[in-house]
Structure formats: C-alpha cells, structure tokens
Amino acid sequence: QHFSIAAIPGDGIGPEVMAEGLKTLKKIEELHGGIHFSIDTFDWNCEYYVKHGKMMPDNGLEILRDYDVILLGAIGAPTVPDHISVWELILPIRRAFQQYINLRPIKLLRGLESPLRYKAHKDLDFIVVRENTEGEYSNMGGRLHENTPFELAVQNNVFTRYGTERVINYAYSLAEKRTGRRLTAATKSNGINHSMPFWDEIVKEVSKQHPNIQTDIYHIDALAAYFITRPEELDVVVASNLFGDILTDLGAAIVGGLGLAPSGNINPEKNYPSMFEPIHGSAPDIAGKQIANPIAQIWSISLMMEHLGFSDIADLIVSSIEEVLIDRKVSTPDLGGKNSTREFGEAIHQQMTKK
C-alpha cells in the first residue's frame, strides 16, 4: 500500500525530532514490504514567515489536502509572536481539514517511572480526547480603547451543537472500544454559565446511548487534581479545546514529561488528511543541541499507523520504545541520560528490527 505524507519539521527542536521520525518511516518500509511512503517536506516555519510575511503559501491548505497524512514537528520561534505562528499554520490545518479530535494518550511506558512515585506500581494508561476546532480557541472577539485606562479585550467561547456532539460521540465510542467502563468529562459549569452547562447537557444526552459506561462530569480544577491523586481511575477523558490542552501537558508530566507525549489531530471520517505531532513545542531552550527526546515524534508515527489501519506496526513502535527504556543504556538528558537525539532514535530503530 502506498501513502503520501506531508512533513512539516517546523522550528527549534522540530527538525531534530522530525529527522528521527522520518527514519521510523524508513524502518517501517524496510520491515513491511507491502508499505510504501512518499514523503514531501515543507519548510513552512517562522523563518519562512520572516522571509515571506506568512507562515505558508496562500495555497498551502490546497497543497496539503492531497496528502494522506501530515506529520508535524513543532512550530514557534522568538522571532514571530506565538499567536501568529500557531494561528496561521497549525490552527488553519486543524480547522480546514476538520481534525476535530485531538487524541492524546497518557500512558506510562514500561521502563519509566512516574514522578508520582507512590502510584508507580499502578497502571497509568488513559487517553484524553480534546475538542480541536472550536471552544475557547475561537477567533471571535476583539480589543477596544487600546492603551487607555478603559482598554478591554474580549474572546468569545464558541460551542456548537454539531461540534460538541461529534466530539462527545467520538469519546464514547472510544470508551466502548477500550474498556467499556468509564468516561470522564471536564466542565466548569459553576463559573462559565452558558457554554459549560450546554456541554454538560450534551454529555448527559449522549451518555443515555451508553448505559454500560459510567459517566463522571468533573470541574476542570478538581479534575486537574485527580490527574495527580487518582489517575489510575481514568480511562477516556473528554474536554474542550483549552481544558484539553492544559490537561494533556499535565498528563504528559505524570508519565515522564513532554518529550514523550504524542498526539493525533484526527478527521475520523477520513475526508481530509489527519495530522500527527508531538504535544511539545519547539523548545527554544534546548534547540540546536541534539538533546531533544525523539520519543514524542516517533510515538506520533505509531498513532499515524493506527489511524492508517496497521495496529501491529503501531504496537511494534511502542514496544520497541519500551524495550529501549527498560534497557536504560541509551536516553536523552530529560530522562537522565547522556545520549543525543540521533542516538536515542537509532536505538529505537535497531530495536524495531530485533522484534
């Protein structure tokens, strides 16, 4: 089978981890004779912005539309304000291609210890479904009376019935596929008194079609605490765009850090390409040093393979990462090791061959 991939390495550590991700794709081709990838790389990043005054060409989305999947490294540099680099590249892709599901597994890999050491013997393995096209990250609002004492800024939250139902339906079907036991929804209906009660109502409506699944609706502040105090009880967590964004950095922290955490921006109907990327950003503090952890990028390729229907290869990637972690001989500084991005990636790819 043939798949076309658009690779956008991006800024900072993006290109460093993407280089390892591209080797993962090569390794998959080598191990699985039937799979072939054709990969085109795009230099759309902050440097491109400084040169051209935009993050991608005017027909950038049209170009991407023809690919089966998009692989992203990370975007963001001190030369361009973050609200421009994110709003002109990542958010347009998520929206144009109806990638309304942002899937973020929170799983403690074998060979790693959670910083929640007292929980380390317990299984930490759940998944956050983040709404990815509306909610708090709406483009609606504005600023008035700039630079006066009366200055104000307004940003509206947008929750449509269509957008809310589809993400909650997806989360329930994922819960059915996983353990069939439990779904946890993040809310804040005590403080945000229009959109969040609406969200809760839709959770309750959809829950009626899944009577076997226990539904809990927790306020986001309490739920953040549960991520620390009883994460082993979670299975599928569904959250709005902002809440899901915050919860998943927290989730990444309890299973080893941002360098490990992958994500998929999924268009479940497969009408458009889905996009796979690490949760982390461009990490300017460590960029250019070859010390970034490549696992988040490599694991995001595992999510990609799952999406393309190759669960066996998806599992092989994750178990190979685990073998290298258990072995403990090679790792990057964020995990206490001394190795480079390249050496860590190489160890994982060698392990894939052994399996």
Q: Within a 13 Å sphere around the CA of 110, how many CA atoms are in the beta-carbon half?
A: 9
- If the CB atoms of residues 279 and 324 are measured against Mg ion, the closer one turns out to be 279
182 neighbors 213 (Cβ within 8 angstroms): yes
> Is residue 305 a contact residue for ligand NAI (CB under 6 A)?
no
> Is residue 112 a contact residue for ligand NAI (CB under 6 A)?
no
Which residues, numbered 232-261, are part of the site for Mg ion (CB under 5 A)? 245
Query: x/- string (CB under 6 A) for ligand NAI, residues 334-353?
Result: x-------------------
DSSP-assigned states of every residue in 209-228: T-TTSEEEEEEHHHHHHHHH
Which residues, numbered 67-86, are part of the site for Mg ion (CB under 5 A)? none
> Is residue 61 a contact residue for ligand NAI (CB under 6 A)?
no
C-alpha span between 354 and 350 (Å, rounded): 7
Query: x/- string (CB under 5 A) for Mg ion, residues 193-232?
Result: ----------------------------------------
Binding residues with ligand NAI: total (CB under 6 A): 22
40 neighbors 245 (Cβ within 8 angstroms): no
Q: Are strands 2-10 and 69-74 parallel, antiparallel or unpaired?
A: parallel
C-alpha span between 229 and 227 (Å, rounded): 6
157 neighbors 193 (Cβ within 8 angstroms): no
- If the CB atoms of residues 172 and 227 are measured against Mg ion, the closer one turns out to be 227
The binder of ligand NAI chosen from 90, 174, 223, 234 (CB under 6 A): 90
- If the CB atoms of residues 192 and 258 are measured against Mg ion, the closer one turns out to be 258
> Is residue 293 a contact residue for ligand NAI (CB under 6 A)?
yes
> Is residue 283 a contact residue for ligand NAI (CB under 6 A)?
yes
C-alpha span between 15 and 283 (Å, rounded): 12
Backbone angles phi, psi at 244, to 5 degrees: -65, -35
The candidate with the shortest Cα–Cα distance to 345, out of 253, 251, 259, 255, is 259
Q: Within a 13 Å sphere around the CA of 156, how many CA atoms are in the beta-carbon half?
A: 7
Q: Are strands 101-107 and 236-239 parallel, antiparallel or unpaired?
A: unpaired
Minimum Å gap between C-beta 157 and ligand NAI is 21
The binder of ligand NAI chosen from 224, 242, 246, 258 (CB under 6 A): 258
C-alpha span between 246 and 269 (Å, rounded): 26
Token pair in block for residue 1: 């089978």
Minimum Å gap between C-beta 148 and ligand NAI is 29
> Is residue 269 a contact residue for ligand NAI (CB under 6 A)?
no
> Is residue 6 a contact residue for ligand NAI (CB under 6 A)?
no
Q: Which does 275 bind (CB under 5 to 8 A by kind): ligand NAI, Mg ion, none?
A: none
Q: Which does 82 bind (CB under 5 to 8 A by kind): Mg ion, ligand NAI, none?
A: ligand NAI
Q: Which does 57 bind (CB under 5 to 8 A by kind): ligand NAI, Mg ion, none?
A: none
> Is residue 206 a contact residue for ligand NAI (CB under 6 A)?
no
105 neighbors 255 (Cβ within 8 angstroms): no
SS3 content of the chain, % helix, strand, coil (to 5): 45, 20, 35
> Is residue 236 a contact residue for ligand NAI (CB under 6 A)?
no
- If the CB atoms of residues 172 and 243 are measured against Mg ion, the closer one turns out to be 243
Residues forming contacts to ligand NAI in the complex (CB under 6 A) are: 13, 17, 74-76, 82, 86, 90, 258-259, 277, 280-286, 292-293, 296, 334
